[in-house]
Amino acid sequence: MARETTVWGSDVNSGAGSLDIVILAIPKGREFTPEELAAEVRRRGLPERRAVREHLVNREKMGVVEKTPNGWKRIAGGDAPPLGVIPKPISVAQPLPDEAAGVLRPDPPSPLLGTKACFDSVGANRPAAHAAIVNLSCFPAAYLDKADQIFPRPTTLYSWDKIISGAAVKSASGATRRMFAVGQNTFRGFHRRDKACPGAKEAFIKYFVDERSSLVEALSAVRTRDELHGLSNTVCDGIRSRLGNVVPTQLRAYNKVRKPVDLYFEHLVSMAAELDHVRAALVPLLFLPLDSQILAHSGLFSEQELAMHGLSRTSTYKDVVSERTYSALQSLLVEKAGAVAAERRRSFHPIYFDLVWNDRYRNWGGNLFETNP
């Protein structure tokens, strides 16, 4: 029996064939990341391949995909239907048979290819079942323009140590203020055992300064979101070991330490001169720091989505107690970022959602520090 292959010569039952199948379903010119590609393969239940980037490099040599500043895009191969166009009206995702239970279940949406949903005013979303709920009015073209500047292409860079220990940042008026990757408000949540001794702020700052060389090396080697997650957990463990003057009960929630780590990585990746060579590759992998403003923003999470994880609009970063809840929320954000990208027909990464914080996308400035109100 003849072996069934893709148009690019891969066995359809192999990991390489899975990647080809998904790439061919992406409209020409639509940007995507290796992580989104791998996620779509898993969503479809196709054979997986670990070496996704190597596969893309091979396809680049064939002239069917090309590298972009924010990821990759298909430039040749069979045409797919226009992005966001649905051949016939549907109000509920088409069901697929559940072989294990013998019942029908909805096909989950693809964050890579996008899901056409009804985007109404805040609180009135009526999407297809399991579709990523995003209020598109919160993310106009100006929002995407700002995000595309300050994350991959910041106008001003700082040294690693300045971002951690305090950088002199100019405002629109020309005045100078000292800014840190993580502000004092975050550290107030770490209650000290002995108020006369250094607390969490000093521990975090010392860790990131002491480990600068190893962290620059580690971040430069990161290739996937899973690898960044693993590195972040390693950093969290290292910092917890230094928080001896913090009341132990303050450290039980997973996100209590992870949120500051995410903030540090966000600011370092987007502004550190030492990471300039890997910025474009790391920005799509960044995890959004989960705090009260993010959880309260109705354009990001619905009340139902929060309730599924024991959260509400009044929850704060310490209420994300488990790593499982944290990861589930981050996966939702990946889907939502994919939905925005699909509708706007341009790249949109999960970390871009951070600009909803105090509507900072409206502010003057060409990097994260300058846009901070």
- Structural domains of the chain ordered from first start: 15-74 (1.10.10), 141-371 (no CATH)
**In the chain, alpha helices (H):** 15-25, 34-44, 52-62, 141-150, 160-165, 184-187, 200-210, 212-221, 225-240, 254-271, 279-282, 292-296, 303-307, 323-344, 368-371
Q: Residue 78: is its pLDDT beyond 90? A: no
Q: Report pLDDT for 288.
A: 98
Q: Residue 27 and residue 31: Cα distance in Å, rounded? A: 9
Of the ranges 54-68, 112-126, 341-355, which is most confident? 341-355
As a whole number of angstroms, the distance between CA 225 and CA 244 comes to 30
Q: Which helix (H) or strand (E) holds 98?
A: strand 95-98
Asked if residue 279 lies in contact with residue 152, where contact means CB atoms within 8 angstroms, the answer is yes
274-288 confidence digits (pLDDT tens): 999 999 999 999 999
More confident residue, 172 or 201: 201
User: pLDDT digit string (tens) for 7-35?
Assistant: 677 877 888 888 888 888 887 777 888 88
Give the pLDDT mean for 83-111.
Answer: 31
pLDDT recorded at residue 3: 56
Query: pLDDT digits over 298-351, tens only?
Result: 889 999 999 999 999 999 999 999 999 999 999 999 999 999 998 899 999 999
Please choose, from the candidates 254, 231, 245, 248, the residue with its C-alpha nearest in 3D space to the C-alpha of residue 317.
254
- Identify the residue with better confidence: 78 or 177: 177
Specify the residue for token string 């039980």: 252
Cα separation, 317 vs 186, whole angstroms: 9
Give the rounded percent of residues in the chain with a pLDDT score beyond 90: 56
Instruction: Give the C-alpha separation, 262 to 259, whole Å.
Output: 5
Averaged pLDDT for residues 200-204: 97
Cα(364)–Cα(372) distance, integer angstroms = 9
Contact by Cβ (8 Å): 232, 158 = no
Q: At what angle do helices 34-44 and 52-62 cross, to 10 degrees?
A: 110
Decide if 222 contacts 231 (C-beta within 8 A): yes
The answer to whether 306 and 328 have CB atoms below 8 angstroms apart is no
pLDDT tens per residue across span 35-60: 888 888 887 778 888 788 889 888 88
Residue 90 has pLDDT above 60, yes or no: no
pLDDT at 328: 94
- What is the arithmetic mean of pLDDT over 50-76? 83
pLDDT at 202: 96
Beta-bridge mates of residue 5: 11
> Count of CB atoms within 10 A of residue 157's CB?
17
State how far the Cα of 215 lies from the Cα of 209, in Å rounded to an integer.
Answer: 10
Bridge partners for 176 per DSSP: 170
Dist. CA 63–CA 74, nearest whole Å: 9
